[in-house]
Amino acid sequence: MIHYNLWFVATEVILLVVGKYLLNTGIHPYFYGLVTGTFAAVIILVLKKINLKLSALVTSLPTILFFTIANSLGFAALKFTTLTNYNFIIQISLLIMPIFGWLFLKEKIRWLIFPLALVNLTGIALLSGLNRLGLEIGVGLTLLAAVFLSLDFVWQKKAALKISQDEVAFWRRLISSLIIGIFWLLTPQLGTASWGNAMVLIPISLFYVSLSLLMVRCLKIQSVADFNLFITLSPVVTAIAAFLLLKETMNPNQFLGAGLIMASILVYNWYRKIKT
């Protein structure tokens, strides 16, 4: 289980940094989602030899819907707020996910996760250098993205318990990217789109293949709340990598924040082990 989680975190960090860089160059966020998602789905189709079955598509429809909405809101949010704000607000799902897992999957709530989630959020705020949140459209979009992300996690797991996990990954990635393509056509003002950019985006699709296949496996073997808490390692890994490899500085508050995030994950995993 742990190695799936770690590979997922590494892939997510790469995509977050690369995606934000490309969006900063002016590329349309939904064009980015259309190209990377479509090519990733085609690769999964060929790599995993997916049999196209209508029943699998129907089973995957709820997670496709929630994933599409979360993705659309997330891409748009990154156009209107900073990566710092986005990284913090999206983690509000730490408080939502245990409740949704209990309501829809009958997963047991370990109540310690709520105070640890608050410790984790404090760590993320310190690590990212967040001082305050303004009343901006990007903040609202990110909050909504966190809700739909939580719903996506739950229904993706529900689907993977009924059909092949690779079928879920394929249909979820393909249909959501095609719908995002429609959003691209309706919102040309959000950025530029050139098929010449596709040559840059196609290699990035390989990371989305990895992200999709790893995510459905991670969700299937553990509770959605447990997985969601673990992947808050992403901002820690991002900051430490920038510190070690890019010579970016980290102040004492950021080191404290990284420590709080890691401590919350370690304490929760220790608590989970002694209770099982």
pLDDT along the chain (276 residues), means of 10: 84 82 80 92 95 94 93 81 76 91 93 92 82 70 92 95 95 92 81 75 92 93 91 81 70 89 91 80
d(CA 57, CA 171): 6
Predicted confidence at residue 135, as pLDDT, reads 61
Predicted pLDDT at 131: 58
Distances (CA, A) of 80 to 19, 63, 186, 190, 204: 14, 26, 18, 10, 23
Residue 272: the pLDDT is 84
Closest CA to 59 of 168, 179, 217: 168
In angstroms, rounded to a whole number, what is the distance separating the alpha carbons of residues 156 and 135? 32
H helices, E strands: number in the chain: 12, 0
Beta bridge partners of 192: 27
Per-residue pLDDT at 133:
56
pLDDT reported for residue 63: 95
pTM for this entry = 0.83
Model pLDDT, residue 167: 96
